[in-house]
Amino acid sequence: MREVYQEQLGKLADELASMSTMVGTAMEHATQALLEADLSLAEQVIDEDMQVDEARSRCEEHAFGLLALQAPVAGDLRTVISTIHAAEDLERMGDLALHVAKAARRRHPQPVLPDDVKSYFSRMGQVAVKLSNRVNHVMRTQDVQEARGLEDDDDEMDDLHRHLFSVVMSPEWEHGVSAAVDITLLGRFYERFADHAVSVARRIVYIVTGSMPGSNNN
């Protein structure tokens, strides 16, 4: 019975890892749609968002099934509950990629991004995908050191976001208020994407160590 239960926990981890791949791909495609004003790619991201929602539902159904049938305690209970929260974070990451794609669609055929901020969003997209890939890896390996390492990528995203904001607020900004609002919102979407990835990584640390990073116990 114990071996079957551990196998079920492993399947939960695999489901979450697959979700991280899905949201990473969504943000990669949404970023490309944004940079290239690619309507068809934006539409693809929008259409595929339902798959992320369905994946979260499957994870939660699986997790609640384990709670009901196995009555886990201690570390196993910590794993199942953390999985439910991680699935929520991953769904939010998918939603943020969706918001980026919708922005690209809303302004089409006009580009959303002025040329002088494209490099910021290109790099933020790369960091977002890197974070998703690292979440996938730590989910499968439960590598605490790598999970903690996601904080460094989040710091880079925060730096990019701050620099982007300084560009928009500069007296030299010549693209108007509407573009500034778009850029500010989009930058926030990427920043929040990274924050949720870090939240998932912290939950992995909690599963393995029993201590949530940033808590008084850590």
* Residue ranges of domains in the chain: 2-209
Tens of pLDDT, residue by residue over 73-106, are 677 888 889 999 999 999 999 999 999 999 999 9
Return the structure tokens found at 140. 């499968």
Return the structure tokens found at 78. 């910590």
What pLDDT does residue 218 have? 37
2-209 CATH, one of 3.40.50.2300, 3.30.70.3040, 1.10.3080.10, 1.20.58.220 = 1.20.58.220
CA 216 to chain centre: 26
Tens of pLDDT, residue by residue over 125-183, are 999 999 999 999 999 999 999 999 999 999 999 999 999 999 999 999 999 999 999 99
What pLDDT does residue 151 have? 94
* Cα–Cα distance for residue pair 57/153, rounded to 1 Å: 28
What pLDDT does residue 217 have? 38
What pLDDT does residue 6 have? 77
pLDDT at 68 over 90: no
Helix boundaries (H) for the chain: 2-36, 39-70, 74-107, 115-141, 144-169, 176-209
The CA-atom distances, in angstroms, between 191 and each of 29, 56, 57, 96, 121 are 17, 22, 25, 10, 11
More confident residue, 1 or 129: 129
* Cα–Cα distance for residue pair 35/37, rounded to 1 Å: 6
What pLDDT does residue 8 have? 84
What pLDDT does residue 72 have? 66
Q: Look over the chain and give the mean of its residue pLDDT values, rounded to a whole number.
A: 92
What pLDDT does residue 216 have? 38
Q: Determine how many CB atoms are found less than 10 A away from the CB of residue 59.
A: 23
* Cα–Cα distance for residue pair 4/111, rounded to 1 Å: 52
pLDDT at 71 over 90: no
pLDDT at 118 over 50: yes
CB–CB of 142/206 below 8 Å? no
Place of tokens 């990019």: 160
**Band (215; pLDDT cuts 50, 70, 90):** very low
pLDDT at 69 over 60: yes
Tens of pLDDT, residue by residue over 5-20, are 778 888 888 999 999 9
* Cα–Cα distance for residue pair 16/148, rounded to 1 Å: 18
